[in-house]
Chain A
């Protein structure tokens, strides 16, 4: 029987009032690949950060090989045998140094000798590279290597520490099929050597190929563990997404005329083309796993990215915006996901954040701004959205996450649009703010088409008249949100992924 490498009990972590981990109990056995699944905000990345010493826990116990484990910083975690390969490959390598220096980076950082012995370094580097099947000239700079080789460099570097736990965070997201297979063969070998592996991914093909066990996370807790001869993939995805039926009543209005008509739209060269019609008065939600192409569709409609093929019309006229400015001119608005990255202007107050896209509505002679007009719009939207604040002049960062989100959504609701796209409008907000935002999206929906993108099916059920399911950059299911067959929606979200050739 392989021993348990890592045992986690009652782990909690909060950021201010936000409880990210609410008592995680998890065992990672040696010599097994444990796949961790979880939607955005489920707490995966916080769990990983605590394990690799980037963040500290609030309460709870972790033991590593029977010993208590509480790394104060990443270097201690590494010394204790917990090795992490991050999603962003370039985070793990120094691109301008040669392969040998990269492989010995930790030794260089902590080494005892002052001068470098180039020949000894190269020999040592070749030995480390050989151990993971990395066959490159170790004197080449890392920036000249392919992404897959770069990743092997960071894994090889990690392996030279004789790890007990190897954490891989979405390692295949930028690899080709053959590169992926090479990584899998390496993982197989490490598993056979008795390393415990925590593998974070949403790719069903990866999971089917590698997983000995699947653990699903939801709302800061482990929501399902699956092991045995035949793994219940669909069950794992359901545990990750949750399935409570919400009590929001959707009253579907009559469909207006078509606003957006997309024909044979192809988002990626290898994706199946699809059609899409969005009508006045209706709220359409697109759901699907992370990486299924929802945000790319939003970017195409908003002029940030180009489609690979197909045609789009807006109110009957050809529509292919060159940039976001052109999309806004045409009446297509996008409230982007990840508000702190893509929406919030941190130095601005509530008013200035709200009026940003439509400043020309608030200007007079010589482009001079009219503060009264700005204030009137901000005050109106604060009232309509129920933003909790002292005054419209509050700095945006003084607000809670839910209220910040209301402000950046309100930015696009302040003016009339033809198509309003909201990418993950409920991201990182509490249940009250989620209801407020959803109610206002529905209440203001007449006269425009509304497209809501959300990975959580619950959120789609709360807000939409129609729910479309996206997978592999194509739309594979459409449902009217009335007596909806939730099992079928779930099946399309999960099985489409599970059913792809592996």
Chain B
């Protein structure tokens, strides 16, 4: 039986990928330097951290929730890793372990607030965001952390960022060209595959999608809905703290002002992901493509000398268009969110 070709269906399914290909071609014609390996890697590097955060928020979107605290978790991890190494004078392993544990713990608290205390997801994670933004400034009395800074109790900080830690954010692997692929890009790709595999190929991911679609029915199918909702926030918090570790390793100091855009960029990538391949639901592949899309757009515009202050506007516009793709064109009305 021959299937009728339907233009709307085709547009919903492939529209975003075609748009992305058109962008790449357009930028390459306008600025041939765009289509080089170095430029491609730069794009990947620019989206590595937000991509990892976006993959975490995807997990909460899958169970019908939302995590607004990811940006604050990432900057808290940034400050905590700096504090661990510079002020406590501990090593890279301790810093990474503390940060991941902190992220998982914040995710657990978010999950418990939402599941046990019945605080709506947006409000619980918004509250957590403010809490963390304040908390991360208290130990240093609002100052950034760097070697040699004077401590609140007197004396100076003697510790340094360990070279092993900095490698996480700065090391580049040889791949075809020398020093081509940054380690952070490898992390992004590996994490994207892991999250994709978890959500699409395992029992747990399937159950999480069921909860996001109809939690009552999932519960009556014998599924422990509360456990999986908490798990989603733990995944989100842990990945956000890992993003914070990479950011700290790239910056090499505990900068209180960095990471302002992380939340916006990550949420945009996850929501743009709804439109990829007409999924109309949160999905890891779409999120990765969404992050890449934002990266390509910004890199292209930068190479064409578009001013930096237009970037947020362009990201917002892309997000709105993607949401129209998802909700209006596909006619599914999207997911009912409480």
Measuring CB to CB, which residues of chain A are less than 8 angstroms from any residue of chain B?
302, 304, 323-325, 327-329, 334, 336, 341-348, 352, 356-357, 359-360, 362-363, 366-369, 411
Which of B50-58, B72-80, B158-166, B199-207 forms contacts with chain A?
A: B199-207
- Rounded to whole angstroms, the CA-CA distance of A302 and B197 in the bound complex is 33
B210 CB contacts on chain A under 8 angstroms: 345, 348, 352, 356
Residue of B nearest to A299 (CB): B220
A366 near B221 with CB under 8 A, answer no
A352 CB contacts on chain B under 8 angstroms: 206, 210
B256 located at the interface, meaning its Cβ lies under 8 Å from any Cβ of chain A in the complex: no
Measuring CB to CB, which residues of chain B are less than 8 angstroms from any residue of chain A?
197, 201-204, 206-207, 209-210, 212-214, 216-224, 281, 335
B202 near A324 with CB under 8 A, answer no
A368 near B201 with CB under 8 A, answer yes
- Rounded to whole angstroms, the CA-CA distance of A359 and B210 in the bound complex is 12
Residue of B nearest to A359 (CB): B203
Residue of A nearest to B210 (CB): A345
Q: List 13 other contacts, CB 8 Å, given A323-B224, A347-B209.
A: A324-B219, A328-B221, A341-B217, A342-B216, A345-B217, A347-B335, A348-B210, A352-B206, A352-B210, A356-B206, A356-B221, A367-B203, A368-B197
B213 near A367 with CB under 8 A, answer no
B197 CB contacts on chain A under 8 angstroms: 368
B218 near A367 with CB under 8 A, answer no
A334 CB contacts on chain B under 8 angstroms: 220
With contacts A345-B210, A345-B217, A348-B213 taken as known, whether A360 is within 8 angstroms of B203 at the C-beta atoms is yes
A336 CB contacts on chain B under 8 angstroms: 217, 220
Q: Which DSSP category, helix, strand, loop or mixed, fits chain B's interface?
A: helix
A356 near B209 with CB under 8 A, answer no
A357 near B217 with CB under 8 A, answer no
- Rounded to whole angstroms, the CA-CA distance of A302 and B220 in the bound complex is 9
B203 CB contacts on chain A under 8 angstroms: 359-360, 362-363, 367, 369
A303 CB, min distance to chain B CBs, angstroms: 9
B217 near A369 with CB under 8 A, answer no
B213 CB contacts on chain A under 8 angstroms: 345-348
B38 CB, min distance to chain A CBs, angstroms: 37
A357 CB, min distance to chain B CBs, angstroms: 4
B281 CB contacts on chain A under 8 angstroms: 347
- Rounded to whole angstroms, the CA-CA distance of A482 and B263 in the bound complex is 68
With contacts A325-B223, A325-B224, A363-B202 taken as known, whether A348 is within 8 angstroms of B218 at the C-beta atoms is no
A408 CB, min distance to chain B CBs, angstroms: 8
A328 contacts which of B207, B216, B217, B222 (Cβ < 8 Å)? B222
B220 near A369 with CB under 8 A, answer no
- Rounded to whole angstroms, the CA-CA distance of A368 and B194 in the bound complex is 12
Cβ contacts A to B, 25 pairs, < 8 Å? A323-B224, A324-B219, A325-B222, A325-B224, A328-B221, A336-B217, A341-B216, A341-B217, A342-B217, A342-B220, A343-B217, A343-B220, A344-B214, A344-B217, A345-B209, A346-B214, A347-B209, A347-B212, A348-B209, A352-B210, A356-B218, A357-B221, A357-B223, A363-B202, A369-B202
A363 CB contacts on chain B under 8 angstroms: 202-203
- Rounded to whole angstroms, the CA-CA distance of A342 and B210 in the bound complex is 12
- Rounded to whole angstroms, the CA-CA distance of A360 and B202 in the bound complex is 10
